Chain A
């Protein structure tokens, strides 16, 4: 999965590919809702998501929660802990997940020995920053209707890049309240918007699967331009 993800960011040589495959990993399943790493922790390892969805978040007063990002298989959502010793936010499993924990030491050795991989991981964190900028626009300037459309388009492109979505259809295992907390909206607004999008025949949500029936229109509503995800690099 890591090779596939890194391969979606940059072209890896056979040697680099083998080095990634040699990384020591401890595979661990975790139930949904379980914290993977918490704010103020000083982790000694990073986790690669093999299965399921995770999110970075922070808790506010009165139990309110802001979700900063959704993470899918192939992501290393706590990669920053390699260089920023103390976690400034928490990371939790939104669904049951399978994670591969890789010791910091091993990633350090890998990036020292293979500058191309270091550059690829750096590039990944830059894309991460680009996604944050888009979310900032969404929270500050998009309507609930546009923000939901944009998020659904973004997740499709991310999942498609690692081979987990095709034909504008993907498994969306998160709950409505997670989407609300990610977009800074109320659950009521998310419910209204989902109904509206369904009634306009733009998408269908059934048994945890999202089917985007009218991609051009949904992308237009969300003003979605996939440029910031930089996944078209290899075909460009």
Chain B
């Protein structure tokens, strides 16, 4: 299963406006948002704004980069 990332601006009501729609086999599985300078040391990290199905996570983790985020999402989709 391969992931597809589509850049799209997002209205979070904050300066966090850059996001990626993450799809697996054509289905939307997650929305990742790049944290802006508003978040201090976390600026540039990717936040799991929303996850669907197996990617849903109340803890809403953040990731150092998109590779790390994709690996985490893939891991979830693989059912582990």
Contact = CB atoms under 8 A, between A and B. Distances in A.
A192 B16 contact: yes
Contacts of A62: 59
A196 interface: yes
Interface residues of B, number: 13
Interface in A76-127: none
A191 interface: yes
B44 to A, nearest CB: 13
Q: Is the interface of A mostly helix, strand, loop or mixed?
A: helix
Contact of A195 (B38, B58, B60, B62): B38
B39 interface: yes
Interface in B2-57: 12-14, 16, 35, 38-39, 42, 47
A186 interface: yes
Nearest to B33: A188
Contacts of B13: 192, 196
A188 B59 contact: no
Interface of A: 62, 64, 184, 186, 188, 191-192, 195-196
